[in-house]
Copies of this chain bind each other. A is one copy, B any other.
Amino acid sequence: MTSTEPARPAVRPTRQRRAVTAALAAFDDFRSAQEIHDLITRQGDSVGLATVYRALSALADSGEVDMLRSEDGEAIWRRCSDTHHHHLVCRSCGATVEVEGPAVERWTSAIAGEHGYADISHTLEIFGTCPACRVS
């Protein structure tokens, strides 16, 4: 072997990537790439939209942010804790609560096992209207 290292990708801390993580830190709910890009722009920075997508994808791969799809299929992103969890998301304002459900995790494994499925992953998201948005 030429090296013991597993071929490091050499990711560089550029101004653009820092701008994206800063924008993510400014939100505490799920936002689209467009919205994140808009915030960066509004703060005077200039980062290409394609670069925002690239940064978000990389962060999602590294587990620093969660990406899920809104009900109309658009990808939305949020910096999240690194432990496995799911989300309770307000359909109207986007307010998000991270939730954990060990029982659900167990249930999915069991169900999959019963049917002989292996290498399991799952998605579970809950959408609703949060208290703040309920003031009719």
Contact = CB atoms under 8 A, between A and B. Distances in A.
B124 A128 contact: no
Given A88-B111, A111-B101, A126 B131 contact: no
* Residues of A in contact with B, size category: 20 to 34
A20 B124 CA distance: 29
A88 B115 CA distance: 9
A122 interface: yes
Which 8 pairs across A and B sit closest by C-beta, in order of nearness?
A: A117-B128, A116-B131, A120-B128, A122-B126, A124-B124, A119-B129, A73-B73, A121-B127
Given A121-B128, A123-B127, 11 more contacts: A69-B73, A101-B111, A103-B107, A111-B126, A115-B130, A115-B131, A116-B130, A116-B131, A118-B134, A121-B126, A122-B127
21 contacts: A69-B69, A73-B73, A88-B111, A88-B112, A91-B119, A103-B103, A104-B104, A104-B107, A108-B126, A115-B131, A116-B130, A116-B131, A116-B134, A117-B128, A117-B129, A117-B131, A118-B128, A118-B129, A118-B134, A120-B126, A121-B127
